[in-house]
């Protein structure tokens, strides 16, 4: 399962398991125990997708 996360603070880089840094604007990553720990520690935040605005057909 993929989740979209970004660093909680722009000034604090977050290292990924492969030693690269997480992009400041966020990335989709595989949900794993590593990322769940980062979420629980407050190092990263989950980015919720903006829902498309729905329009009602009016008469």
pLDDT tens-digit series, residues 1-59 = 999 999 999 899 999 999 999 999 999 999 999 999 999 999 999 998 766 555 565 55
Q: How far is CA 15 from the centre of its chain?
A: 14
Q: Does the predicted TM-score (pTM) go above 0.75?
A: yes
> Considering only CA atoms, which of 6, 4, 3, 29 is closest in space to residue 18?
29
Query: 34 in helix, strand or coil?
Result: helix
The two three-digit tokens of residue 4, written as one number: 């979209």
Q: Counting runs of H as helices and runs of E as strands, what totals does the chain give?
A: 1, 3
Neighbours of 5 (CB within 10 A): 22
């Amino acid at each position: 399962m993929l989740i979209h996360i970004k660093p909680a603070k722009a000034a604090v880089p977050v290292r990924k398991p492969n030693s690269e840094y997480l992009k400041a604007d966020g990335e989709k990553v595989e949900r794993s125990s590593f990322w769940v720990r980062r979420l629980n520690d407050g190092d990263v935040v989950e980015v919720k997708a903006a829902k498309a605005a729905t329009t009602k057909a009016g008469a």
